[in-house]
Structure 1
Amino acid sequence: MAIKDYLNWKVIVGVFILLIVFSVGAIEYTSTPQFCNSCHVMDEAYQTWENTTHKDVNCLKCHADSGIIGKVKVKIAGTRQLYQVVTNNVPEEIVAHVPDKRCIKCHKDIGQVSKVENIKIPHDSHMEKDLECVTCHEDVVHAESLKASKPSMDTCAKCHDVTDINNCAQCHSTD
């Protein structure tokens, strides 16, 4: 084998290794909240996320399925979003669906009755009715304030009769 052939082989292997390292680094960097915020259309989502109890949770924990397939899907979607930005064809409202299974990965005790201040929340009965977590908690992560991290009475009133004072004890406890 000639030295020239040997050097060409080393160069090709070196370039291939650098390409892999660069690709892994790029994939990891483009999976960070800071990268998401580099696009001006994500300013509001980033700012509202940054002010909530989820501020230490990476965007992809909620916005992508886990595993390599989930990462590939989110990168394909990201490419489509990049195309929309480059072609100045960004939707007026950006909507992302977060399925319950992503919430439950972290909130494993969700099937129990929660008690927040003096309010009892029977998550299990809500789940039995196939209500998604975001039905009540749509503003948990991208809320204007930390107050929105808990559902308001208006949220409950969408499904429950909150005008009948005799029903108050169903949710509000006195102990």
Structure 2
Amino acid sequence: MKKNQKVVIYGSVLSLLIATSLFVYTVYASNMLSYLSSDPKACINCHTMNSAYATWEKSSHKNVAGCIDCHLPVGDAIAKYQAKAIDGWNHSVAFTLNTYKNNIQIGEDGASRVQANCVRCHASENATLKINADKYHNVEEGSLENSRKCWECHKYVPHGKVRSLISTPYNLGIKEQMK
């Protein structure tokens, strides 16, 4: 084997080892594997979600619904992990580049998923709403999903009145409380 070939082979192996090491470190440092779970604690790997977690933890939904039960599609594993991947990518870009505001707003796609899950979980209440739709809702074609969003009236469910990085009481140190 010629000297140039050895240099190329060693350089390639070294580059591969460095790339693999950086990838493993990134997986470890970002707690990447925790995002594959359904544990709400995975959502507070980023400090920006502390207030959302702290307010949910004190809500009536804590014992019946976790983050993914409301924020991701239910029933279709492919759709769930696709939404999880897209949201994860968008969150990591926004958090890394610091392009988010202290009071995080849900996007249109996320809002439609949350609305669909509200309607799904509260089916018995939805039947009552359909009966009284002329008084409270603008129901199009018998579907509440196309009308007003549930949180337009139920603003404080399940995340409380104040949802901001700097204003939610007791949101700082939430990770330390869970140890």
**TM-score under structure 1 normalisation?**
0.55
Residue 62 of structure 2 aligns to a residue in which SS? Answer: coil
* Higher percent of residues as strand: 1
Aligned to 1:82: 92
Measured after TM superposition, the shift of residue 45 of structure 1 is 0.7
Unaligned runs of 5+ in 2: 1-32, 140-146, 163-179
Aligned to 1:63: 71
Moved over 4 A (4+): none
In 2: Cα distance, 1:111 partner to 1:105 partner: 9
Cα separation, partners in 2 of 1:71 and 1:127, compared to 1, 3 Å: farther
Question: Given residue 68 of structure 2, which amino acid in structure 1 is its aligned partner?
Answer: L
In 2: Cα distance, 1:89 partner to 1:108 partner: 37
Cα separation, partners in 2 of 1:112 and 1:80, compared to 1, 3 Å: closer
> What is the Cα-based RMSD across aligned positions, in Å?
2.5
Alignment of 1:34-113 (within 5 A): 34-56=41-63, 57-66=65-74, 67=76, 68-96=78-106, 97-99=110-112, 100-113=115-128
Unaligned runs of 5+ in 1: 1-24, 115-121, 146-175
In 1: Cα distance, 2:97 partner to 2:84 partner: 20
158, 162, 174: which one pairs with 1:141?
A: 158
In 2: Cα distance, 1:89 partner to 1:135 partner: 26
Aligned to 1:124: 133
Measured after TM superposition, the shift of residue 82 of structure 1 is 1.1
The number of aligned residues is 113
Measured after TM superposition, the shift of residue 140 of structure 1 is 0.8
Aligned-residue sequence identity (percent) comes to 26
Measured after TM superposition, the shift of residue 144 of structure 1 is 4.3
Measured after TM superposition, the shift of residue 135 of structure 1 is 1.2
Question: Given residue 42 of structure 1, which amino acid in structure 2 is its aligned partner?
Answer: M
Residue 37 of structure 1 aligns to a residue in which SS? Answer: helix
Alignment of 1:15-26 (within 5 A): 26=34
| Alpha-carbon contact 1:110-1:123 (below 8 Å) kept | no
Aligned to 1:28: 36
